[in-house]
Amino acid sequence: MGLASIKEFIFPQEVYIAILEHGKRKINQEYLPGEYQEPKAYGLIGGSINGEQVEVVGTYVLTKNQRGSQDQKAQMDKNMKEYAVPSETPMEKRGWIADPEEVWEAISQFSEQSGSLVGNYHTHRIAWEHDPERDTCTKIDRELAKNSGQWVFILSVVNPGRPILRAFYEGQNKKEALITIKK
Amino acid sequence: MATISIPSPFRKFTAQEPEFQSKATTVNGLLQDLVATYPDIKKNLFTPEGQLLQFIKVYKGEEDIQEMNGVQTTIGEQDQLTIIPAIAGG
């Protein structure tokens, strides 16, 4: 069975906390040296697939955003115009694209941890009138994850004191997996 | 034969096979063999015009083939390649 069949992600507590801390750090606008500066966190998740479960082995903090690169900007702008809900963040600042070199490093790291790339995560930080929690995938999330084979994890930090992490296969809100924290 | 690792998300296109082997002597030959065996993976690798998608990368060992000779990079029996999928979010 593959990623499409996953029903549960089991996170070691320290990995789960690392994701929450990443989100918190970015909304506080505390940046790593050389990190792309924006109040949005995004990263990759590695895990070991065991039937319908994934044992999460680690995460990789993405520090670069190729969204503004000459090759990608026009297509991303087009996607945003077509699928994104207008928000206080300007369209040209919306969205992120992973740097392939970082993806390569993450895949290598997960392999050393006896896992493989299973998905990615990003934060939603601004409440919308029609979606106050922002803990599910948006239309643009679905479009960008369409046919990707990846799980999309949404970390809602609308209320920073009460972060919410949820997982959706290819960004489809009807295909959600349980997230369990292992102490 | 050269071996290419299939990232987990793409294994839905390869009947869950984690690797693919080919006797091809270039990266392009190997990818064409892969697509011929698993046609559903094609749209995740190539544009309709047949170019490797911009944000799909292929590594030969630890080196991006774009730093070598692109898809015309030669490969040998012992070479291990990896497909790096494109990842984006809203």
For residue A12, the model assigns a pLDDT of: 98
CA distance B65 to chain A (A): 12
Do A94 and A126 touch, CB atoms closer than 8 A? no
For residue A49, the model assigns a pLDDT of: 95
Return the percentage of chain B with pLDDT > 70, whole number.
100
User: Which residues of chain B neighbour A116 with C-beta distances below 8 Å?
Assistant: 7-8, 18
User: Which residues of chain A neighbour B56 with C-beta distances below 8 Å?
Assistant: 100
Does B59 score more than 90 pLDDT? yes
User: Which residues of chain B neighbour A74 with C-beta distances below 8 Å?
Assistant: none
For residue B16, the model assigns a pLDDT of: 94
- Give the C-alpha separation, A58 to A48, whole Å: 10
- Its ipTM equals 0.89
Interface size A-B, in CB pairs within 8 Å, comes to 95
For residue A23, the model assigns a pLDDT of: 97
Angle at A40 between CA A111 and CA A20, to 5 degrees: 60
Q: Which residue, A22, A2, A3, A20, is CA-closest to A11?
A: A20
Which among A67, A84, A117 has CB closest to B9? A117
* pLDDT tens figures, A138-183: 999 999 999 899 999 999 999 999 999 999 999 999 999 999 999 8
Contact A148 B84 (CB under 8 A): no
Amino acid at A38: E
Do B55 and B45 touch, CB atoms closer than 8 A? no
For residue A129, the model assigns a pLDDT of: 84
Per DSSP, B51 falls in state P
Inform me whether the C-beta atom of residue A1 falls under 8 Å from chain B C-beta atoms: yes
Q: Per-10-residue mean pLDDT for chain A, 183 residues long?
A: 94 98 96 94 97 98 89 81 82 87 94 96 91 92 92 96 96 98 93
Q: Which residue of B has its CA nearest to A79?
A: B90
Span of A88-102, B23-37, B60-74 with lowest mean pLDDT = A88-102
